[in-house]
Amino acid sequence: MKPRRILIFSFAYYPRFVGGAEVAIKEITDRISSETIEFDLICLRLDSRLPAFERIGNVNIYRVGFSQHKEFSTDSLPWYLHINKYLYLFTGVRKALSLNRKRHYDAIWSLMATYSSFAAVIFKILKPKIPFIFTLQDGDPIPYIKRKALPLYPLFKMMFTRADHIQTISTYLADWAKDMGAKCPITVVPNAVDFKLFSTKESVEEQNVLKEKLGKKEGDIFVITTSRLVVKNAVNDVIDALQYLPANVRFIVLGQGYQEKMLKDQCSMLELNDRVKFLGYVPHKEMPKYLHVSDVFIRPSLSEGFGNSFIEAMAAEIPVIATPVGGITDFLVEGETGLFCDVHSPRSITQKIEKLIRDRESRDYIVARAKKMVQEKYEWNAIVERMQDIFLSIV
């Protein structure tokens, strides 16, 4: 039997623009044989150094829209590249129709309630017989997502009502899909972690080289986050918390975003420049080594659809501090697989970090329980089997 063909709509993709949704696409498609399903993907080009077409893993990538040779993240696009998001409704659909004439797709798949899914809805309207799989990966607050969609709210609503199957990464997002009027099957399939990548530690010599590069001295405690530098990830609350922690507690920040300058200004104002290190964009495969030389992972999110970074830290065997919001409560149990801090509370963050520093027995118990849970429930191979079942059942 010839392989099925699925067309993916995604705002951005590897190798330059990588977030939770992009990681999920790559991990899933890499593990599904091209003899079973062939994947094509349409995304924005944005960076002129990226080719209009290339194959990465098991995906043929077609990039559309105008671009620029410049370093930026998807959260800090220049205004003129922002226009690409709106034009994707036309450029993305036009490319999809052109490809469909040659490839005859068995299904389309879009991730996140954003402009890429708007394009998928338009394609579905034009080609109603082709099944539409919609994945909810969103981590921003739902009211914020709805406000952003107001100019195109009818299309936004149709993401839920025109989908033939909705897959969400948490029960929180599944409830939202129901509230938006979805009548199709809804399946919760969480994101996962490349357990081998994040659990395999570097040699002592390699770790010492990185510690020296980061300036980690004997007795230092490294608190780390791997986060987009945006409001909802509340990195500013961690910086505030440093004021109440001993000078040997330092903060390592991996990520980019529009808040970067504001956060650096905050460090200067609080005289914390020597205790906070912004490392900017770090490729996903390079992240584990930074986790392995750190002592506590934290992201005091204001909202979260699921949060891949948390389970990656658990696989890397460092304790996690999070807030009890959104999909985080699906996998984090207080005192068992991590600790909860209060939302927008630097004092609460301080208390939880101090507990993990002080109470070694609790720390070790949490690390062991969390690692076991991730290995059993959140390893990509098991998750991919469930996603493949969804794809094949609908096509």
> For the domain that residue 13 is a member of, what is the CATH number?
3.40.50.2000
Distance CA 281, CA 329 (A): 28
φ/ψ of 245, rounded to 5, equals -110, 155
HSE (side-chain half, CA atoms, 13 Å) at 381: 4
pLDDT tens profile 183-203: 999 999 999 999 999 999 999
Q: What is the pLDDT of residue 18?
A: 78
Q: Are residues 77 and 123 in the same domain?
A: yes
Distance CA 128, CA 390 (A): 19
Q: Are residues 137 and 265 in the same domain?
A: no
Q: Are residues 154 and 170 in the same domain?
A: yes
Q: Are residues 150 and 201 in the same domain?
A: no
Q: What is the pLDDT of residue 76?
A: 60
Q: Are residues 168 and 203 in the same domain?
A: no
Q: Are residues 151 and 45 in the same domain?
A: yes
Q: What is the pLDDT of residue 230?
A: 93
Kindly tell me the number of DSSP H helices and DSSP E strands found in the chain: 15, 14
Q: What is the pLDDT of residue 86?
A: 83
Cα–Cα distances in Å, from 321 out to 6, 65, 94, 267?
Answer: 38, 40, 45, 21
Residues of the chain predicted below pLDDT 70? 69-77, 79-80
- Name the residue range of residue 320's domain: 195-377
The whole-angstrom distance between residue 68's C-alpha and the CA centroid of its chain comes to 24
Q: Are residues 66 and 128 in the same domain?
A: yes
Q: Are residues 140 and 54 in the same domain?
A: yes
Q: Are residues 73 and 120 in the same domain?
A: yes
Q: Are residues 136 and 46 in the same domain?
A: yes
Number of domains in the chain: 2
Q: What is the pLDDT of residue 118?
A: 94
Tokens of 9: 């709509």
Which DSSP helix (H) or strand (E) runs through 260?
helix 260-269
Q: Do residues 228 and 255 make contact, with C-beta atoms less than 8 angstroms apart?
A: yes
Tokens of 29: 């498609």
pTM for this prediction: 0.85
What distance, in Å, lies between the first and last C-alpha atoms of the chain? 13
Q: Where are the beta strands (DSSP E) in 27-185?
A: 37-47, 53-56, 59-68, 107-111, 132-136, 165-168
Q: Are residues 346 and 384 in the same domain?
A: no
SS3 call for 123: helix
Q: What is the pLDDT of residue 382?
A: 87
Q: Are residues 105 and 88 in the same domain?
A: yes
